[in-house]
Structure 1
Amino acid sequence: MGLATAPANLDPRYATDATSTRINRLLYRQLVDFDNSSRPVPALAEWQRVTPIHYRFTLQIIDRAFHNGDRLTSADVKATYDYILDQDNASPHRSVLSMIERIEVDGEDQIDFYLNRADALFPAYLAIGILPANLIAKVHPFQSQPVGSGPFRFLDWPEEGRLVLQRVKDGQQFEFLKVHEATVRILKLLRGEIDMAQNDLSPELLVYLAEKEGIKVEQTGGSNFFYIGFNLQDQDTGQLAVRQAIAYAIDRAAIIKHVMQGGAQPAQAMFPSSHWAGEQDLTPYSRDLNKARALLSGSGYDEANPLKLVYKTSSDPFRVRLATVIQSQLADAGIEVDLRSYDWGTVYGDIKAGRFQLYSLAWVGIKTPDIFRYVFHSDSIPPVGANRGRFKNAEVDQLIEQAEASVDAIEQARLYRQLQALLLQELPYVPLWYENQVFVSRDDIQGYHLASDGNYDGLLEVSKIW
């Protein structure tokens, strides 16, 4: 399988990048997974809410073997989460689990989580892969030598761009090869040097591949959320009228149709309508240059004093092209944009540090509404959270806190939808689209199923016809 980027960390206690997260789903099993509407469902364990601040998880009887032969028990679950909760270990997942007061075990199968506050979404936060307690105690290097209990086991990682795993049920080996350039990845596919690839391919390459004999191209609707983010402390982008003008100047429909070849769906919020707390009946910012110019004029900008902005994006060729189109559309409204592209590490570092006016990025694989606290609550300014635009709004904070405190799922969904409507008004982000998930393969590959969040679960059943 050809990958645009290699996994950075195969320890689920620390992994945050998309490729590592997807690979770790294959290597480790977690207590909880998600259904098609992103509601939590049992994976390793069933659960019951004993009280609003006490959840009891019971491990299933079968499929509990680590790849080193040890049996997965309640002690391993406790050790995994105790490690994450220890602030000295600096796990990036600690803040999401901050409501856990303590963890107790009873025998090999039962784990009790006691919380310091009620949270009806709590089971959904327990989707981190479980590690063996004895290896945690020995400070085993899971990041490079993973030991899990998932459907794939680790075999070798001989170099940064080549990872070898084995599917447990039949012994089939899989190599994950980093081929950063999309064109090179496709040439390798055509020559048979790789069998398949997923995502990170331009629409032109997909059209090209669809016409090639012996190659299959599949697409499905995606849930990964693409957006433009703003620095709310900046004298220009800190103005709501400026953000609204930008939203009205962008023609998302034209970009999706002509640049993306229909490979996305327009977004009005972080969660699509298929999510249990997803957007419903939100009015989009359709392109309206007259409104955009009027908003800019009301803020003191005109031809003699145009709005000038610096727009940062990654150096990926397709992302640069999308940003260039957006730059041109903003120019139609009288906004002068200085587009600057950087390697991923540089642009991501600038965004985390708040060194930007506007940027484009995506949230990948988000399932639970705790993302709203992490991204938009005023207490989540980096390094505590990912409120990178320094957005502060008392009404947003209140809605987040009310939704978190609610024990009624219907009321929670209502509050989160109200929150998303407010965010669309305040525009800390301009929602762009949910990009399709894409899978390309040689025609002797069969049985791969694309997931809306782009995970690699399709590898559990994929096979090659010999």
Structure 2
Amino acid sequence: MKIASLEKTLSKVMFLLVVFFSFGLTKKNKQTVNIAWDNFPRSFDPRYANDANSQYLENLVHCPLIDFSHSGETKNNLAKSLRWLSPKVLEVKVHDYFRFSDGSKVGLADVLATYEFFMKKNMIRPSPRSLAFQNVKSINLVDDKIIFELHNIDAAFQTNLVVGILPEAIARGGEIQDPLKIKSCGPFVLKSITLNNISLTRNPYYQSFEPLKLSHSDVKIKVVKDETTRFAKLQKGEVDIVQNGVSLEKVSSLASNSNLKLLRGEGLKTTYVGFNLEDKILRDKKVRKAIGLAINKEAINKYILKGLALPATTMVTPSSPYYNKNQDYIKFDRKVANKMLDESGYKIKSGEKYRFQLSYKTTKNDTRYAIAKAIQGDLYKVGIKLDIQTLEWGRFKSDVEKGLVQLWGLSWVGFKDPDIYRYVFSSKSFPPLGGNRGRYKNLELDRLLEKGKETVDLSERKLIYAKVQEIIEDDMPYIFLFHEDNYALVRKDIKNFTLYADGRYASLAYTYK
């Protein structure tokens, strides 16, 4: 009892110190770090944060049970401890010093309400993150802990506990309509949202036990959709940080700029070409394989990505313990590609230039467009005409999720567990409940993905995902292009900004100028 009492006393002292030093800041000390994004987050509600920018914002504004390190390893955040009481029952205890931005304590009732939201049935707009919690049988509060009980064993379940925690009163409601009213528990609070800017101010009650001291700087996210304009604002000093948002061609031209520095680090990112498998041409596996054989990934990496990527063969990187190094992955071979297209009945007829025509959708990002043009050139050489459509991010993402595409180029960012294969390729994971945008179906793969999710033993799990990779390589619902590095252009007066493998901006909590 004495130890428990001492812990509570220390917690109160720490809380009061945070309040004292936070409110002791003067306006003179406060500066704003300006960063540029290419698009607005699609949702300010952490329960609906499914695109990269929404999740990056979630990480800045909200506190999750668990978080990830620079390299992508899990670490506790709000959670004080996580303990499996049995293979299907997880006990979570939370720290008692976390506070929302109005000073109220972040408690178990808030955690319960946030996660119970994903168990609601017949919702008008279901959350795309709900698939990760379909296996939850019940969530209960027991004394000073929360208990998650699962229907089946789920080896990846803990990695799903990254949803930003909302106050109970908000979490019990529907999708958030006015994000400025949210009292959040992360390092920042939403201050204002305008047509082209998102302003974040410090949460005065937030504390951290990282080695670095928390910065006093606010953050302004400037949404600058045009890459040339982002580049110009960075050069003029109107923007301090641009991460993965300037073409590598422009990056290389900044070597002589004494006001900027280039940061580079390994990324948890897989760039791919997706196929709509409901399309009458692309449902043919031989056609998909021929397209994969026709794309010269090495050349694209060398001339467009400037070597800042590793050509990909599957979803996970070669450094992953789940990478199947024994798999015979597809390699660039134009001769074989032509042969397979001929065998599929798509010989070039007399007097015609092409076997058939396809459309490829991508964003207006200069690098993505350059990659699309390179693919267009490669496919031309095997008799396929590829029409490129560049779209604003919102329209592009909508078309992909609705299946209004034939081919498209995108990246999966920030995944840490091979259960990503289930989210992307399971027949139960069609949008809006998941990420199977190509409408791919394979019953044997579905079975393996469920088994992989429920298998805890590492050796056995490796064997399952090795087979998963074999099936995907044979069916080719995607062409995996690259594992791209993260890079950022940063003004030299910016201190403590560092890159995270999953692309998150967590270091902004410690960044200042």
Shorter-chain TM-score range: over 0.9
Q: Is the Cα–Cα contact under 8 Å of residues 69 and 500 in structure 2 kept in the other structure?
A: no
Find the counterpart in structure 1 of residue 7 from structure 2: none
Q: Is the Cα–Cα contact under 8 Å of residues 273 and 478 in structure 2 kept in the other structure?
A: yes
- Would the alpha carbon gap of residues 348 and 373 (structure 1) be closer, same or farther in structure 2, given more than 3 Å must change? same
Higher mean alpha-carbon deviation, 38-47 vs 198-207, is at 38-47
Q: Is the Cα–Cα contact under 8 Å of residues 252 and 266 in structure 1 kept in the other structure?
A: yes
Task: Return the letter of the residue paired with 2:68.
Answer: F
Find the counterpart in structure 1 of residue 47 from structure 2: 13
Higher mean alpha-carbon deviation, 230-239 vs 80-89, is at 80-89
Residues 1:248 and 2:283 are matched in the alignment: no
TM-score, with structure 2 as normaliser: 0.85
The correspondence for 1:314, drawn from 354, 363, 374, is 363
- Would the alpha carbon gap of residues 197 and 39 (structure 1) be closer, same or farther in structure 2, given more than 3 Å must change? closer
The correspondence for 2:201, drawn from 165, 187, 203, is 165
Q: Is the Cα–Cα contact under 8 Å of residues 396 and 422 in structure 1 kept in the other structure?
A: yes
Residues 1:219 and 2:264 are matched in the alignment: yes
Residues 1:2 and 2:36 are matched in the alignment: yes
Find the counterpart in structure 2 of residue 84 from structure 1: 118
Find the counterpart in structure 2 of residue 153 from structure 1: 189
Residues 1:178 and 2:223 are matched in the alignment: yes
Higher mean alpha-carbon deviation, 134-143 vs 425-434, is at 134-143
Q: How far off is 1:35 after superposition?
A: 5.0
Find the counterpart in structure 2 of residue 64 from structure 1: 98
Q: Is the Cα–Cα contact under 8 Å of residues 268 and 502 in structure 2 kept in the other structure?
A: yes
Residues 1:398 and 2:447 are matched in the alignment: yes
Task: Return the letter of the residue paired with 2:325.
Answer: Q
Q: Secondary structure at the match of 1:274?
A: coil
Residues 1:382 and 2:431 are matched in the alignment: yes
Q: How far off is 1:292 after superposition?
A: 0.6
Q: How far off is 1:25 after superposition?
A: 0.5
Q: Is the Cα–Cα contact under 8 Å of residues 80 and 131 in structure 1 kept in the other structure?
A: yes
Find the counterpart in structure 2 of residue 30 from structure 1: 64
Find the counterpart in structure 2 of residue 115 from structure 1: 150
Find the counterpart in structure 1 of residue 319 from structure 2: 274
TM-score, with structure 1 as normaliser: 0.93
RMSD: 2.2
Higher mean alpha-carbon deviation, 420-429 vs 379-388, is at 379-388
Task: Return the letter of the residue paired with 1:20.
Answer: S
Q: Is the Cα–Cα contact under 8 Å of residues 120 and 409 in structure 1 kept in the other structure?
A: no
Q: Is the Cα–Cα contact under 8 Å of residues 209 and 217 in structure 1 kept in the other structure?
A: no
Q: Secondary structure at the match of 1:147?
A: coil
Q: How does 1:258-407 map to 2 (within 5 A)?
A: 258-304=303-349, 306-407=355-456
Q: Is the Cα–Cα contact under 8 Å of residues 364 and 390 in structure 2 kept in the other structure?
A: yes
Task: Return the letter of the residue paired with 2:306.
Answer: Q
Q: Is the Cα–Cα contact under 8 Å of residues 138 and 148 in structure 2 kept in the other structure?
A: yes
The correspondence for 1:130, drawn from 157, 161, 165, is 165
- Would the alpha carbon gap of residues 260 and 348 (structure 1) be closer, same or farther in structure 2, given more than 3 Å must change? same
Q: Secondary structure at the match of 1:50?
A: strand
Q: Choose 1 or 2 for highest CA Rg.
A: 2
Find the counterpart in structure 1 of residue 109 from structure 2: 75
Deviating 4+ runs (over 6 angstroms): none
Q: How far off is 1:432 after superposition?
A: 0.3
Q: How far off is 1:146 after superposition?
A: 3.2
Find the counterpart in structure 2 of residue 97 from structure 1: 133
Q: Is the Cα–Cα contact under 8 Å of residues 167 and 460 in structure 1 kept in the other structure?
A: no
In 1, Cα distance between equivalents of 2:428 and 2:60? 34
Q: Is the Cα–Cα contact under 8 Å of residues 52 and 120 in structure 1 kept in the other structure?
A: no
Task: Return the letter of the residue paired with 2:429.
Answer: S
The correspondence for 1:230, drawn from 275, 280, 286, is 275
- Would the alpha carbon gap of residues 282 and 206 (structure 1) be closer, same or farther in structure 2, given more than 3 Å must change? farther
Q: How far off is 1:142 after superposition?
A: 6.0
In 2, Cα distance between equivalents of 1:21 and 1:150? 13
Higher mean alpha-carbon deviation, 314-323 vs 180-189, is at 314-323
- Would the alpha carbon gap of residues 157 and 279 (structure 1) be closer, same or farther in structure 2, given more than 3 Å must change? farther
Task: Return the letter of the residue paired with 1:280.
Answer: K
Q: How far off is 1:106 after superposition?
A: 2.3
Q: What residue ranges of structure 1 are gaps of 5+ in the alignment?
A: none
Q: How far off is 1:259 after superposition?
A: 1.3
